[in-house]
Homo-oligomer: A and B are copies of this chain.
């Protein structure tokens, strides 16, 4: 079963935005055994859209289109689909109800352009967009399936997950593709490859593929295989994943779609522990990651973001003499920050960090990218220096992920040896 993705919109063709929707869609389609054979980005032009539809329907069974479904004049996908399928727009009452509800809940007035969002081509099934006003459109024509989705990522993603994928799975007997992703933090791709080279060589005869998916601070290792006997596939992949885990156990923080902040949150909730943070160079990013998790208020109390030294001294009681002698980016300061916030906010654990995110502020002794991280509990203080390189955004992200992983390890250690 082959699918093709067509994104419509000049913003991709002039390089104003990167097409990350297609990568996400390709991933979820692959996950259910649908192969993506081409991804095309084309302009907001009716002729171009029709040509792309004709060509892709010759090559593929399923054509997924994103973009151009909005309420403004440059959104021409719906009209073009009408002309391609030789049909016309009709008001869909169910969609109109949905649009009205959405505007009511936001306390906004419903404009004529918004009403028009509920008009859909007469030959399609409209798919309710729970996150917005533009419905998805599902067409079947000459044994091909065409689905048009809004280009807004979270609207498209919800429609794909909740409606398009389940309907494709129902309609076709797809092969099973089993993926298992092991998530690691703190070790580079090439070092991981060295550690697991013998194991990796054994994958061929099991018909399992391994992909390395690196991003700042983490490497995801994805095992995948396909076939028709789901139970057998799962068993085979789980067995190899277990072998892998034994080889690189200390570096693994989770699997599949886990996030470090989610894993840390679950541990804190499980052991009924609380956390506070004192951030300098990360400027709130650790707190932000922690609070992206729904329910984080159960264990995350709050933070002092001490971006200036005055706040470090006044709000975290860091001795100005220590800042003077050891510098703001030092073991002494970061330890004092962690202990101070933990006691002040009355939490079981604390994270603190201080570093030079750059691009300015580096010295020969402490170059840009130098970061001290401290994790503390009432029994233990762990402090470590890292060098994350010269990219500001990357250093902030690496610091946050490294700190969360240090905390994860500490919580696990302490939960295994409950002292006094």
A16/B74 in contact, CB under 8 A: no
Q: Does A387 contact B (CB under 8 A)?
A: yes
A194: nearest residue on chain B (CB-CB)? B111
A394: nearest residue on chain B (CB-CB)? B154
| B39, B315, B392: the one within 8 Å of A40 (CB) | B39
Q: Does A48 contact B (CB under 8 A)?
A: yes
Q: Does A199 contact B (CB under 8 A)?
A: no
Q: Does A212 contact B (CB under 8 A)?
A: yes
Q: Does A417 contact B (CB under 8 A)?
A: no
A40: nearest residue on chain B (CB-CB)? B40
Give A107 Cβ to nearest chain B Cβ, in Å: 6
- Residues of chain A from 315 to 335 with CB closer than 8 A to chain B in the complex: 315
Q: Does A380 contact B (CB under 8 A)?
A: no
B288/A189 in contact, CB under 8 A: no
B26/A212 in contact, CB under 8 A: no
| B residues near A193, Cβ cutoff 8 Å | 71-73, 113
Complex Cα distance, B111 from A190, in Å, reads 8
Interface size of A by Cβ–Cβ distance < 8 Å? 109
- Residues of chain A from 287 to 327 with CB closer than 8 A to chain B in the complex: 287-288, 290-292, 294-297, 300-308, 310-311, 315
- The contact string, 1 if C-beta is below 8 Å from chain B, for chain A 126-147, is 0000010000000000000000
Query: Which label, helix, strand, loop or mixed, suits the secondary structure of the A interface?
Result: mixed
A345: nearest residue on chain B (CB-CB)? B311
| B23, B37, B74: the one within 8 Å of A211 (CB) | B74
B38/A41 in contact, CB under 8 A: yes
A291/B307 in contact, CB under 8 A: yes
Give A123 Cβ to nearest chain B Cβ, in Å: 26
Question: Which of A107, A305, A315 counts the most B-chain CB atoms under 10 A from its CB?
Answer: A305
Q: Does A79 contact B (CB under 8 A)?
A: no
Question: Contacts A193-B71, A284-B291, A305-B302: A43 and B39 contacting too (C-beta < 8 A)?
Answer: no
| B residues near A188, Cβ cutoff 8 Å | 108
B15/A27 in contact, CB under 8 A: yes
Q: Does A30 contact B (CB under 8 A)?
A: yes
| B14, B111, B367: the one within 8 Å of A191 (CB) | B111
- Residues of chain A from 155 to 194 with CB closer than 8 A to chain B in the complex: 179, 181, 188-191, 193-194
Complex Cα distance, B26 from A291, in Å, reads 34
Q: Does A19 contact B (CB under 8 A)?
A: yes
B284/A285 in contact, CB under 8 A: yes
Q: List 6 A-B pairs, minimum CB-CB distance, nearest first.
A: A283-B291, A284-B287, A15-B27, A284-B284, A15-B26, A303-B305
10 new A-B contacts, CB < 8 A, other than A114-B190, A302-B315, are: A15-B25, A111-B191, A283-B290, A284-B284, A284-B287, A287-B287, A291-B396, A301-B308, A302-B305, A302-B306
